Amino acid sequence: MKKILLIEDREKRQQLFIQEHNLDFSNYEDILINAVNEKYIEVSNQLKEDKFDFNKYSMIITHKSAFENDNSEIIEKLKQGCKITKIPLVFFSGGIDENFYNNSNNYEFVILNSKVFYSKNLEIFLNAYKNHNENILMLLYGEKWEINIALNVLEKLNIFLEIDNEEEIYYDDIADYIDLLKNTSFKFKELKVNEYDEVNREEVINFKNQIYKYIEESVIYE
C-alpha cells in the first residue's frame, strides 16, 4: 500500500497540536510518512531539485509555508505533480480562515486551517484509511462528514439567499456547494440552468428544501 506523505517543517508546532488531541503517529507508521526534521530536509531538497517521485505516495499533505524562500515555486510543483498523477493534495496553515475543497483539476485539493487538520478529524481519516473506507472530506468535516457537509451547505445557501434577492441566480455562485454535495450519498435533482448560466430563485429554494429533508432523514435513521 502506498503511504500518505505529511510534510511539516516545524516539529515543535506539530507536537503541540498532536499532544493537545492525544494523537499518536506511531500507530500509523504503516500508512503515514511523517516528514519532519531530517526527512523534511530530504523531501524538500527532492522537490527543489525536481527529483521528487509523486508516484510513491497515495496523498501529499503539507504545511502551506513549509519551503522558505522557494515556497511559491514548490507549491506550484506540488499542484502540477498531483494534477498529473491524480494524487490528492492537502495544504494546511494557521492563516487559513475558511476551509476549501475542489476536485475540478483531475485531483482532489483541500486547504484547511492547522487547528482543523491537527484534530480528531485526522485520526478519524487515518483510521478510515487503514480500513480502505476513507474520504478526504473527513479531514474537514469529521466522522459524520456527509451530514456535516449538508448542514454547512444549507447554512451557506440560507445566507446567500438572504443577501441575493434576484429572481435569477448565476449558477457559478452556488456551484461549489453543489460540487461538495456530490461527494455525499445525497441524491438530488440537477438544477435547471438557462442559456445565460442562470438558475431560477425558486429552483434554488427547492434545492435547499431537498437538503433540509436529507438532513432530517439522516438524523432519523442514524
The secondary structure of the chain in percent helix, strand, coil, rounded to multiples of 5, reads: 50, 15, 30
Per-residue DSSP letter, 2: P
Measured CA to CA, the distance from residue 36 to residue 83 in angstroms comes to: 24
CATH 3.40.50, domain 3-140, yes or no: yes
The whole-model pTM stands at 0.90
Q: Cell for 172? A: 457559478
Q: Which residues contact 7 (CB under 8 A, 6 or more apart)?
A: 35, 40, 43, 44, 60, 61, 62, 63, 66
pLDDT by position in tens, the chain (length 222): 899 999 999 999 999 999 999 999 999 999 999 999 999 999 999 999 999 999 999 999 999 999 988 999 999 999 999 999 999 999 999 999 888 999 888 899 999 999 999 999 999 999 999 999 999 999 999 999 999 999 999 999 999 999 988 899 999 999 999 989 999 989 888 899 999 999 999 999 999 999 999 999 887 655
Measured CA to CA, the distance from residue 134 to residue 143 in angstroms comes to: 10
